[in-house]
Amino acid sequence: MNDGSGAGTAAVRVRGLWKRFGEQIAVAGIDLELPAGRFIGLVGPNGAGKTTTLSMVTGLLRPDQGTVEVVGHDVWRDPVEVKARIGVLPEGLRLFERLSGRELLAYTGRLRGLPGAEVDKRATQLLDVLDLAGAQHKLVVDYSTGMRKKIGLAAALLHNPEVLFLDEPFEGVDPVSAQTIRGVLERYTASGATVVFSSHVMELVESLCDWVAVMAAGRIRAHGPIAEVRGSAPTLQQAFLELVGAHGRTPGTNLDWLGGGTR
Partner 1 sequence: MSTGLTSTVVRLKLSLLGNGLRQSAGRRAAYIASLVVVLLFAALQLIGLIALRGNAHAATVAVLAVMVMALGWAVMPLFFPSGDETLDPTRLVVLPLRPRPLVRALLTASLVGIGPLFTVCLFTGSVISVAHGPAAYGTAVVAVALALLVCVALARAVAAANIRLLTSRKGRDLAVLSGLVVAIGAQLVNFGARQLGSAGLSQLDPVGEVLRWVPPASAIAAVDSMGKGSYGTGAAQLTLSAAALAGLLTLWSRTLTKLMTSPDQSTLQAAEPGPRQRGSAGLSRLLPPGRTGTVMERSLRYVWRDPKTKAAWVTSLAIGLIVPVFNALQGTGSIYFACFAAGMLGIQMYNQFGQDTSAFWMVAMTISSARDAYTELRGRALALLLITLPYATLVTVVTTAVLGAWPRLPEVLGLSYALLGAMLATGAWCSARFPYSIPQEGYKNVAPGQTGLAWISIFGGMISAALLSAPMIAATIWLNVAAGGDARTWLLLPAGAAYGALITLLGLRLAAPRTARRLPEILTAVSKG
CA 161 – CA 191 distance, rounded (Å): 12
**Least Å distance between CB 110 and partner 1?**
4
Binding site for partner 1 (CB under 8 A): 58-62, 79-80, 82-84, 88, 90, 92-100, 103, 107-108, 110-113, 116, 134-135, 137-139, 141-142, 144, 155
**Least Å distance between CB 36 and partner 1?**
21
**Least Å distance between CB 98 and partner 1?**
4
CA-nearest of 61, 63, 57, 65 to 12 is: 57
CB nearer to partner 1: give 75 or 222: 75
CA 125 – CA 196 distance, rounded (Å): 23
**Least Å distance between CB 16 and partner 1?**
18
CB 153 within 8 A of CB 167: no
CB nearer to partner 1: give 138 or 182: 138
**Least Å distance between CB 153 and partner 1?**
13
CA-nearest of 69, 92, 89, 85 to 16 is: 69
CB nearer to partner 1: give 113 or 259: 113
**Least Å distance between CB 55 and partner 1?**
8
CB nearer to partner 1: give 113 or 251: 113
Exposure string over 102-121, b if 16+ CB within 10 A, otherwise e: bbbbbebbeeeebeeeebbe
CB nearer to partner 1: give 35 or 90: 90
Rg (CA), the chain: 20
Helical axes 116-129 vs 101-111, angle rounded to 10°: 140
Cross-strand partners of 69: 13, 74
CA 123 – CA 154 distance, rounded (Å): 8
Q: In the chain, count H helices and then E strands.
A: 9, 10
CB nearer to partner 1: give 52 or 180: 52
**Least Å distance between CB 135 and partner 1?**
6
CB nearer to partner 1: give 196 or 208: 196
Q: CB neighbours (10 Å) of residue 163?
A: 23
